[in-house]
Structure 1
Amino acid sequence: MSETFDAIIIGAGQAGPALAGRLTGAGQRVALVERDRIGGTCVNTGCTPTKAMVASAHAAHLARRAAGYGVSTGAVAVDLASVVRRAQTISANARERNEKWLGAMEGLTIVRGSARFTAPGTIAVGERTLTAPRIFLNVGGRPSRPSMPGLEQVETLDNASLLTLRELPEHLVVVGGSYIGLEFAQMFRRFGAQVTVVEMGPRLLAREDEDISAEIRTILEGEGIAVRTGAKCISFAPHTGGVAVGVECSEGEPQVIGSHVLLAVGRTPNTDDLGLENAGIKVDERGYVEVDDRLQTSAPGVWALGDCNGRGAFTHTAWNDFEIVAANLLDGEDRRVSLRVPGYALYIDPPLGRVGMTFAQARASGKPLLVATRPMSRVARAIEKGETQGLMKIVADAATRRIMGAAILGTGGDEAIHGILDMMNADAPLDDLRWAVPIHPTVSELIPTVLLELKAEE
């Protein structure tokens, strides 16, 4: 016999529990299906534990630099097991808070197990059959493991398993020079490991402007991280020292020997075992659920939120997916994904805060542009903190005088970028921000100054 609900939510990541709260608050009976841990990637293997470990790495880095601030610390040592315990405790506490909240939610039934569509509007979870007129997919993603020569012959780590190490790798080889890989690379270098980053492309962070990419490489190499770009054919083989990673770069040795290898080459949506074809739900060639501007799938009464829809790969975009769906279904609004101003951060140290278009993307639009940059070495707050690496960069539409995008790579960049993000979200002209009176000394106070330095693209 089937169990009937007003709504079924598959996945208890960032969007799922919040949506359950809104729906049950509106008097609906909701089933929330989860096969693993409440909280999804962010709480369990993503933002929460990794940023806790980034904080530990920063503390070690700052302690080693203490003499430059007139502080004596003596020798600095990192106990990786203690670092991991701290991160896991923070993660467990966050998960427990979510579980208690959901457990007390009137009208919610939590169903443990793997969900699979057997027909439109019908879900099987083990021996149970659930039906509802509305179904929401919030199934997230997992680390990609593409076909690469020799990969199946060696052991590798991913972002989840790396968080469980109790002993420091002698030499960590990070395959993938993008966001996840670079955060772990710097983190483990600061913990004391030798680290090499191997990237197939010609530079790190191909999505960013070349000057941002180059500055990030300078920051990482300045901390002793080896960077091997242009690795055209990455391969793997067992080695007495661990794993031999073939790189075939134009310069340097043709292979790198690592005691451990982190595979950080992207994410794959958790959609392959949901039986989506049984419900008429379309996916693209990469497995992401196809959705419209309001996050509705090709099947009536089914929505997809979070990482599985390919419309954002961040906790904050998953949360905004929830906000869009809830506002449209419960509040009579017409919210759309296309109204979202894209923003994100790279949590190396110093961090990169990004919003809107890169300069390269803005140039491709064909619009007349204004652009300005300022090195962090000319930011008082950065000088006072002894953290002068990085730069600020803003690009604007010369005709409409709207900011099109910005990057702040430097101390506090992940926070300061929100001043620009908010102006873009409000669709306000840059002149309004120009006349703000920011607090001194902060990184944000330099934003009006950078706006004053905007000049036509040459």
Structure 2
Amino acid sequence: MKFTHDVIVIGGGAAGLTAAGGCALFGLDVALIEARKMGGECLNDGCVPSKALLAAAKRAAEARERTRYGVTLAKPVVEWAGVHRHIHDAIAAIAPHDSEERFEQIGCEVIRDWAQVTGPQSVEVAWRTLTAPRIVIATGSEPALPPVEGLDEVPYLTNENLFDLEELPDHLVIVGGGAIGMEMAQAFRRLGSEVTVIEPGSLLARDDPESVAVIREVLEDEGVRFVEGKAERVESRGGTIRLFAGGETIEGSRLLLATGRKARCTGFGLEEIGVKMGANGIAVDARRRTSVKGIYAIGDCRDGPRLTHVSGYEGSNVALEITLGIPTKVDWSALPWCTYTDPEVAQIGLTEKDARRKYGDTIRIVKEAFRDNERALAEGKDKGHLKLVLKGKKVLGASMVGKDAGELLLPFAQAITGKSSTFALGSAIIAYPTRSEISKAASFSAWEPTVFGAIPKKWAQLVARLRRRFA
């Protein structure tokens, strides 16, 4: 077969952009296909807008505590139009990093349309047939809606339309106590909304319970109300949302569904050509290979963890495997994540619960409180703690709750993996979005001339020629 490209990437979110950009920088002929907005969920209706909203809410909270440190501030006045503008200014500031123009400059052919995979090496898009020895699926995810009676008859919000609200809700009812639910609960409460969170199970279920207890107490002190129970039925009357959950009737002005995400992997022809599906997404092995030879799946569309930094990590891995022919397996031993409430709840590696399940009573816990840290005391931000999970002297994980906890994860990434060089730091999984990413960026820049130098590029292009000839 005469191929039109060396690799075809379907999806222009964090995973697809990293894979496509990496392959293009090695000199491969790359087709990057995206029918929706460039930058995917993270840029347009996920990480970026939510963190911008949280920043506005934090400013309001600081001013509401009018006298502190001997300084008195004016009472905050929240102008929703200004908050909305700040959110979309943040998106606009970051958008050029993920833009069609930038990836064309890198060397990708960017095609803005829906793709249909028609074979292990062929894709139909924009009335064209593209072919390549390797195809990368990076189609992302979408909100998973809970089975609530009457849901299809009432207006509701998800992260995909939340940041386009034209006015601040009087009472925001949130179904879901995961990261999105908790972040948005605190943000809207601080901006002036009444907020009720409905969750039938544990809040922030994958995090350490001691950390979660701290942030729950903070949110309750700020006025967020929690209802433990399953959302069973919802109705809308005269502009009021009425939700029945946990034996209660909760009335609010807007309803936000924050009950997780599901893979966006149907409608692309994948199952028709034999790509197997897992419990929630495309089934892949440790190298992100699907059941069909030559097709990879990375990021939220495959069965596995859904985090922006995971998508970038998998994109880098697959780019290296495709360009240099080096098998690259994922390693979740130092996987970080963070919920950007105030204080933040952060985790890397195993929680105490997971470690005890795996190693029993051989583990050891070391705990340090922020109230024993002099910087925290000086700033009056002493709520929270750091918990280390150890097996002997080996670090298995770290759980944190406290001011900027996500920024404190980086040393433990190195402790868990045992890698501390600039090369290791440049390829580490760093929680997104954190300022710690600047350390990774600088370390990667130190190695960039070597990684993308003349010899690796020549090798990558030799691998590509051989693959085109013998695929």
Shorter-chain TM-score tier: 0.7 to 0.9
Give 2:105's aligned amino acid: A
- Residue 293 of structure 1: CA displacement? 0.8
Give 1:214's aligned amino acid: A
1:245 aligns to what SS in structure 2? strand
Residue in structure 1 matched with residue 242 of structure 2 by the alignment = 244
Alignment of 1:408-447 (within 5 A): 408-426=400-418
- Residue 266 of structure 1: CA displacement? 0.6
Q: Does 1:24 align with 2:17?
A: no
Q: String of CA shifts for 1:277-333, please: whole Å, max 9, x gaps.
A: 2222111133x1111111111111111111111332111111110121122232353
- Residue 153 of structure 1: CA displacement? 1.6
Q: Does 1:291 align with 2:284?
A: yes
Residue in structure 2 matched with residue 232 of structure 1 by the alignment = 230
Give 2:377's aligned amino acid: I
Give 1:22's aligned amino acid: G
Q: Does 1:272 align with 2:273?
A: no
Alignment of 1:137-286 (within 5 A): 137-201=137-201, 203-229=202-228, 231-240=229-238, 242-249=240-247, 254-286=248-280
- Residue 391 of structure 1: CA displacement? 1.9
The answer to whether the 8 A contact 2:175-2:231 is kept is no
Give 2:382's aligned amino acid: T
Give the Cα–Cα distance (whole angstroms) in 2 for the partners of residues 212 and 181 of structure 1. 16
Give the Cα–Cα distance (whole angstroms) in 2 for the partners of residues 404 and 166 of structure 1. 45
Give 1:276's aligned amino acid: L
Give the Cα–Cα distance (whole angstroms) in 2 for the partners of residues 52 and 41 of structure 1. 15
Give 1:228's aligned amino acid: V
Give the Cα–Cα distance (whole angstroms) in 2 for the partners of residues 20 and 272 of structure 1. 22
Residue in structure 2 matched with residue 131 of structure 1 by the alignment = 131
**Structure 1 unaligned blocks of 5 or more:** 429-443, 445-458
Give the Cα–Cα distance (whole angstroms) in 2 for the partners of residues 109 and 236 of structure 1. 46
Give 2:403's aligned amino acid: T
Report runs of 4+ in structure 1 exceeding 6 Å deviation.
none
The answer to whether the 8 A contact 2:333-2:349 is kept is no
Q: Does 1:336 align with 2:329?
A: yes
The answer to whether the 8 A contact 2:174-2:258 is kept is yes
1:248–1:97 distance in 2 versus 1, CA, 3 Å? closer
Give the Cα–Cα distance (whole angstroms) in 2 for the partners of residues 18 and 206 of structure 1. 29
Report the structure, 1 or 2, having the larger helix content. 2
Residue in structure 2 matched with residue 365 of structure 1 by the alignment = 358
Give the Cα–Cα distance (whole angstroms) in 2 for the partners of residues 246 and 383 of structure 1. 43
Give the Cα–Cα distance (whole angstroms) in 2 for the partners of residues 10 and 260 of structure 1. 35
Give the Cα–Cα distance (whole angstroms) in 2 for the partners of residues 102 and 206 of structure 1. 38
- Give the TM-score of the pair, scaled to structure 2: 0.85
Q: Does 1:391 align with 2:389?
A: no
**Structure 2 unaligned blocks of 5 or more:** 421-435, 437-471
1:246 aligns to what SS in structure 2? strand
- Residue 340 of structure 1: CA displacement? 5.0
- Residue 93 of structure 1: CA displacement? 2.5
Give the Cα–Cα distance (whole angstroms) in 1 for the partners of residues 419 and 109 of structure 2. 42
**Higher relative contact order (Cα pairs below 8 Å, separated by 6+ residues):** 2
Q: String of CA shifts for 1:207-262, please: whole Å, max 9, x gaps.
A: 22322222221111011100112x1353211133511111124xxxx111010010
The answer to whether the 8 A contact 2:20-2:319 is kept is no
Question: Mean Cα displacement is larger for which, 69-78 or 157-166?
Answer: 69-78
Aligned-pair identity in percent equals: 34
Give 2:240's aligned amino acid: G
Residue in structure 2 matched with residue 403 of structure 1 by the alignment = 395
1:335 aligns to what SS in structure 2? coil
Residue in structure 1 matched with residue 56 of structure 2 by the alignment = 56
Give the Cα–Cα distance (whole angstroms) in 1 for the partners of residues 373 and 42 of structure 2. 33
1:129 aligns to what SS in structure 2? strand
The answer to whether the 8 A contact 1:375-1:390 is kept is yes
Residue in structure 2 matched with residue 85 of structure 1 by the alignment = 85
Give 2:314's aligned amino acid: D
The answer to whether the 8 A contact 2:80-2:168 is kept is yes
Give the Cα–Cα distance (whole angstroms) in 1 for the partners of residues 316 and 199 of structure 2. 36
Q: CA RMSD in A?
A: 1.9
The answer to whether the 8 A contact 1:219-1:389 is kept is no
- Residue 415 of structure 1: CA displacement? 0.5
Which residue, 377, 380, 383 being the options, matches 2:371?
377
2:197 aligns to what SS in structure 1? strand
Give the Cα–Cα distance (whole angstroms) in 1 for the partners of residues 120 and 409 of structure 2. 43
Q: Does 1:317 align with 2:316?
A: no
Question: Mean Cα displacement is larger for which, 34-43 or 389-398?
Answer: 389-398
Give 1:38's aligned amino acid: M
2:72 aligns to what SS in structure 1? coil
Give 1:65's aligned amino acid: E
Give the Cα–Cα distance (whole angstroms) in 2 for the partners of residues 123 and 155 of structure 1. 37
1:80–1:319 distance in 2 versus 1, CA, 3 Å? same
The answer to whether the 8 A contact 1:372-1:394 is kept is yes
1:123 aligns to what SS in structure 2? strand
Q: String of CA shifts for 1:125-160, please: whole Å, max 9, x gaps.
A: 242222211100111111111321111121110012
Give 1:337's aligned amino acid: V
- Residue 94 of structure 1: CA displacement? 1.6
Give 2:118's aligned amino acid: T
Give 2:370's aligned amino acid: M
- Give the TM-score of the pair, scaled to structure 1: 0.87
Question: Mean Cα displacement is larger for which, 108-117 or 265-274?
Answer: 108-117
Give 1:256's aligned amino acid: I
Question: Mean Cα displacement is larger for which, 329-338 or 168-177?
Answer: 329-338
- Residue 265 of structure 1: CA displacement? 0.3
Residue in structure 1 matched with residue 103 of structure 2 by the alignment = 102
- Residue 427 of structure 1: CA displacement? 6.4
